[in-house]
Chains A and B, each alone.
Chain A
Amino acid sequence: MAGHLVRLKLALLRNGLRRSEWQQQVGLVLGALGGLPLAAGGFLLLALVPRAEPRFGLLLVEAVFLGLFLGWLLFPLLSFGGDASLDPARLALLPLRPGGLMAGLFLAGCVGVAPLCTLAALAGGVVGFAPLGPGLVLAVAAVLAQFALCVVGSRALLTALSRQLRSRKARDLGILLVSLAGLSVSLAVQVGARMAERWERLDVEALRPLGRVVGWLPPGLAARALVDAGRGRLLAATVELLAAVVVVLLLGWWWWRSLDRVLTTAEPPARARSRPAAGLFPRAARPFLRADRRGAVAAKELRYLARHPRLRVAWLTSGLLALALVVAAALGGWDHPALVLVALVVVFMLSQNSLNQFGWDGPAYWANVVSGADPRDDLAGRNLAAMLAGLGATAVLAVALAAVTGGWPYLPVALCLAAGVIAVVLGVCDVVSVRFPYPVPEVTSNLWAVQGTGQGCLVGLMQMVAFAVEGLLLLPVFTLVGVGVLVWRPLLAVACPVAVLYGLVVWRVGLGMGARWLRDHQPELLAQLSARRAG
């Protein structure tokens, strides 16, 4: 049984490589290589630092062991939908007993890039701490106990939560958390760099109480066993190691119970929440939308802005960026009133989502094609939604910045210029989005996945070209604004109507070009949006 499951895991890894195009294979290999720096970093940290700085020894090992344990608990939860070997319900119809299945799943869990990298990092602990003699045996056992803790803890938690994780809401939340994790990693790297600068001044004693708490957590027990084995306190190391093994056994018991429950009890039917009948048109947008084709498309787009998990991520990221800007302005004492105009940059970035306006529809675009509606109305509806959302975001951010900097006179200027900027961007997007569309996967474990066959590179290239064209088209507006802010302020009063008119002209030209092409190529666009998902 165990052999079968290990072979299954190896086959899944192999087929994951074989199924995809060469571009994705390169991506997968690079992704796997991405684990190498982490493994090497962990190894060097555990192998070298305790020898160089003995006073950090225990704290450092505790922190690394805890980090690894939490990583093993959290990341499989986020990639649950993407790894077929993680879901025990897929094996529910086979005549298997939980004991044999557990052994097989444990061994399968030890196969792959993440387990290899973890083992490599933990091996640094043996190099860093283990003396020759009986202490070496204990140190190796402590490292293996930590590894077992990671694998068994991860599988136990996954199995216990497997039903919840299969729900659509959990998958949506997963996508949101992955993006937040990405942001928090970059934040943690920055904070870590600051901490490293102050490393010399750091009062290690202040961290001791925290260390004592961490030391009693399961990974802390293994860490203490390793450090005590290294320092020759064999009895203490043995007791701590035994405690860690007991924790592994307890987690194994929990896993066994959960597995038994998943394999033998029927899944209750999912209960979906029924929303109150608010209608297609969002309440806040009703004054701006008519109940016609254009209005329907715009209303659908606005609903998707709020409900599509990946659009939510885009808006959340921009929202956090904007919040950081406002906080930085408030704390940093930036009080130049023209700072309100920085809202334009955030809105410019946000409106880049329209470069792939049809991608969010994906294959569901057939409904628009078969309706026989004029593609111009379709495009204009999408533009209307982007304009409403963009102006709303500008208004909120500009008001916040004006409140911080006192630049209230710049508020109407920011709104007028935003209308112009968004219109220019949409003019470009109307051409690009019909000529170079790509379907956006509805739910996937890979937040940055591009659906289709090897389109990632071309899509990236086209978006860069589009970005450059937008920049060139916006250059006159930004020049006017720059001169207005820095040299002659009354020029801003002229810049506002000029920007709006200029935006309107560029938008009409782009809309016309996009609609004209789309009228003759709707089936081809649909085919591109229905591309089979690869990788």
Chain B
Amino acid sequence: MTRRVWLFFPCLLLAGCYEESSVTLYQPHVYLGAKDAHAYKPSAHEIALAQRFRMVQADR
């Protein structure tokens, strides 16, 4: 019985040394986090003007 108790405590301590095996790989410029509720959302008008800029004024 005493021997089992002595074994239990080291096992319990070692349980805290668990290593996560699934690694998240981050790609540059790709945000994988949670959605930001406060992020700025451009209006349809702003999107239209930005598209117009790229269409009409971008370098040939």
B and A form one assembly: no
Binding site for B on A (CB under 8 A): none
